[in-house]
């Protein structure tokens, strides 16, 4: 099996701050990481390789610092990695991103060997659209299935995918080639191995494709290929919490205290009265 796995290099959001003036992310000094939700996708790809043999190729469209993320994935056991990077890809929305990724998968298929599966993460921690898997599948006209937990090969060109939804567990037979997005809790990623890291340094199994290699129409990529318009971003300010703890004697006491405290607050009392009226109270 030849499996392509998508990786996005994202700012580690636990440490990201928003510039209060411009509303944009302050990236200065923020260390980037492999999007954590891509990890189950990588693990799934590696497990499939362990079981059925073949090759796993990591793919990212990103500026060159993402090489560190690709190195990490190679450390986990991915065989090689492709960085698709060009100025004309900058400023891409999900449509333009998925277009480039789809074209890169086609190029892998043609030049490296037949691609059976492309696996993506559920979503990213910095944009969370969960578009990329579906859109890439649409460009390629491949079947797409999301929230996958496990994948089994049932015959040469068919897999059985188990996916876990909120209210159901479903099994789908999917024809290859296909695109799968993993559920963010599907699998625990394996650690990096010393020997794989040595291999990364010795063999440099990393390819960079610019638009000279990809030969895409720049009107379909980057900012130009992005029809999405960000009309406005709203910075939701942190609500100052009062941090009061009351230890009630019983339920009645608790209710009384709560009503009394809420009524003392101007905003809360209005909301409370409105809610009570709507609920039919006098």
Ligand X SMILES: Cc1cc2nc3c(=O)[nH]c(=O)nc-3n(C[C@H](O)[C@H](O)[C@H](O)COP(=O)(O)OP(=O)(O)OC[C@H]3O[C@@H](n4cnc5c(N)ncnc54)[C@H](O)[C@@H]3O)c2cc1C
Binding site for ligand X (CB under 6 A): 6-8, 35, 37-38, 41, 59-62, 91-94, 97, 101, 120-121, 123-124, 127-133, 226, 228, 230
Residue with tokens 């638009």: 211
Residues in region 143-202 near another protein by CB under 8 A: 191-195, 197-199, 201-202
Residue 35: CB minimum distance to ligand X, A: 5
Write out the two tokens for 118.
């492309």
Q: With binding defined as CB under 8 A, does residue 234 bind another protein?
A: no
**Contacts of residue 6, Cβ cutoff 8 Å, sequence gap at least 6:** 38, 41, 58, 59, 60, 101, 118, 119, 120, 121, 132, 133, 136
Which residues have CB under 8 Å from 151's CB, separation 6+? Answer: 44, 48, 117, 159, 160, 161, 162, 180
235 binds, among another protein, ligand X, none (CB under 5 to 8 A by kind): none
Output the smallest distance, CB 127 to another protein, in A. Answer: 22
In the chain, count H helices and then E strands: 8, 13
Cα→Cα distances 233→23, 25, 230, Å:
7, 12, 7
Closer Cβ to ligand X, 105 or 174, answer by number: 105
Which residues neighbour 78 within 8 Å (Cβ) at sequence distance 6 or greater? 5, 42, 45, 46, 56, 57, 58, 70
How many CB atoms are closer than 10 A to CB 144?
A: 18
49 makes contact, choosing from ligand X, another protein, none, with CB < 5 to 8 Å by partner type, with: another protein
CA-to-CA distance for 36 and 56, rounded, in angstroms?
A: 18
Question: CB-wise, 82 or 214, nearer to another protein?
Answer: 82
| Residue 103 interacts with which of ligand X, another protein, none, CB < 5 to 8 Å by class | none
The strand pairing partners of 1, in sequence order, are none
Cβ proximity to ligand X: between 138 and 261 the closer is 138
Nearer to another protein, 74 or 92 (CB): 74
Can you tell me the distance from the alpha carbon of 74 to that of 17, in angstroms, rounded to the nearest whole number?
30
Nearer CB in complex with another protein: 203/217: 203
* Residue 230 binds which entry of ligand X, another protein, none, CB below 5-8 Å type-dependent: ligand X
Stretch that binds another protein, among 19-27, 73-81, 176-184, 243-251 (CB under 8 A): 73-81
Residue 40: name its binding partner from ligand X, another protein, none (Cβ under 5 to 8 Å by kind): none
Which residues of this protein are in contact with another protein, per CB under 8 A?
Answer: 29-31, 49, 53, 55, 68, 72, 75, 79-80, 191-195, 197-199, 201-203
């Amino acid at each position: 099996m030849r499996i392509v796995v998508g990786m996005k290099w994202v700012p580690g959001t636990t440490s990201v701050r928003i510039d209060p003036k411009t509303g944009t992310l302050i990236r200065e000094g923020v260390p980037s990481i492999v999007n954590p939700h891509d990890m189950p996708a990588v693990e799934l790809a590696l497990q499939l390789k362990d079981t059925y043999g073949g090759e796993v190729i990591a793919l990212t469209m990103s500026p060159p610092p993402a090489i560190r993320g690709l190195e990490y994935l190679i450390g986990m056991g991915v065989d090689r990695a492709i960085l698709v990077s060009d100025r004309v890809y900058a400023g891409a929305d999900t449509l333009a991103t998925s277009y480039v990724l789809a074209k890169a998968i086609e190029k892998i298929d043609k030049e490296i060997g037949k691609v059976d599966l492309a696996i993506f993460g559920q979503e990213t921690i910095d944009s969370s659209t969960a578009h990329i898997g579906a859109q890439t599948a649409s460009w390629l006209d491949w079947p797409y299935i999301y929230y996958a937990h496990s994948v089994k090969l049932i015959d040469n060109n068919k897999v059985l995918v188990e996916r876990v939804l909120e209210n159901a567990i479903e099994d789908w037979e999917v024809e290859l080639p296909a695109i799968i997005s993993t559920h963010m809790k599907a699998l625990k990623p394996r650690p990096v191995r010393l020997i794989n890291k040595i291999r990364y340094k010795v063999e440099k199994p990393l390819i960079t494709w610019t638009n000279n290699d990809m030969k895409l129409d720049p009107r379909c990529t980057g900012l130009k290929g992005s029809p999405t318009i960000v009309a406005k971003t709203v910075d939701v300010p942190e609500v100052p919490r009062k941090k009061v703890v009351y230890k009630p004697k019983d339920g009645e006491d608790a209710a009384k205290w709560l009503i009394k405290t809420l009524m003392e607050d101007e905003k809360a009392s209005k909301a409370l009265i409105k809610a009570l009226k709507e609920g039919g109270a006098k």
